[in-house]
Amino acid sequence: MTTRLTNAPVLETPRLLLRGPEHRDADPLIAFLLDKERAELFGHYDNRGDAWRWFALMVGHWHIHGYGYFVIEERATGRAAGICGIWNPEGWPEPELGWVVFDGFERKGIALEAALRARQWAYEDLGFTTLTSNIVPGNTRSVALAERLGARYERTYHNVHMGEDMLFRHPGPDELDNDGSVEAYA
């Protein structure tokens, strides 16, 4: 039996489901957060208890804001492939479109597919008119994805949890094509 921990909607793409976190997602997310090399530019933890609390924070974020990180589920396998969604905890400058893919799911276009769908949901269903992506300097893969999404570097700021962060501004809904792409914006 699946235990829903939030009232998050289920968003679909051709290959993915974006859904709220469930109990079964704790272990894959904790494994990612404990992997120093993989999670260093996202926020690494060196013990399971702190990583579990971050999972609980992700669940609580949905209850406080009505939005948050979706779990990216690969439709073909049912496996958790990462997280993606709108993140705005205390100390953030404004709502952020964020993403992470787990080990074994990189370089398949999953983060792009999930980010396009999450951004569409934020604009169409939540009524957001802008989003940012906050990226730690040196995270060249996230910078490349943000730019592919049409986001442009705006400024560097001090993130209360991560230190120096680069803020990338996404095109607003009026700047996107009907399919969410940024052909006209790029």
Q: Is the dihedral of CA 53, 139, 115, 37 positive or negative?
A: negative
Contacting residues for 25 by C-beta, under 8 A, at least 6 apart: 55, 71, 80
Q: Report, as an integer, the average pLDDT of 146-164.
A: 95
Selection from 93, 112, 68 nearest residue 156 by Cα: 93
What are the angstrom distances between the C-alpha of 31 and each of 43, 47, 91, 103? 12, 10, 26, 9
Token pair for 152: 């442009």
Domain positions in the chain: 11-175
Q: What is the mean pLDDT of the chain?
A: 94
CA 109 to chain centre: 14
Q: What pLDDT is recorded for position 3?
A: 82
Tens digits of residue pLDDT in 9-24: 999 999 999 999 999 9
Q: What whole-number percentage of the chain has pLDDT above 70? A: 94
Answer whether 168's CB lies under 8 Å from 154's CB. Answer: yes
Distance CA(114)–CA(102), nearest Å, equals 13
Selection from 86, 112, 76, 92 nearest residue 20 by Cα: 86
Q: Is the dihedral of CA 128, 114, 49, 32 positive or negative?
A: negative
What are the angstrom distances between the C-alpha of 71 and each of 5, 114, 127, 137? 12, 10, 21, 25
Instruction: Kindly tell me if the per-residue pLDDT of 139 is higher than 70.
Output: yes
Level-2 CATH architecture, domain 11-175: 3-Layer(aba) Sandwich (3.40)
Q: What whole-number percentage of the chain has pLDDT above 90? A: 89
78 pLDDT tier (thresholds 50, 70, 90)? very high
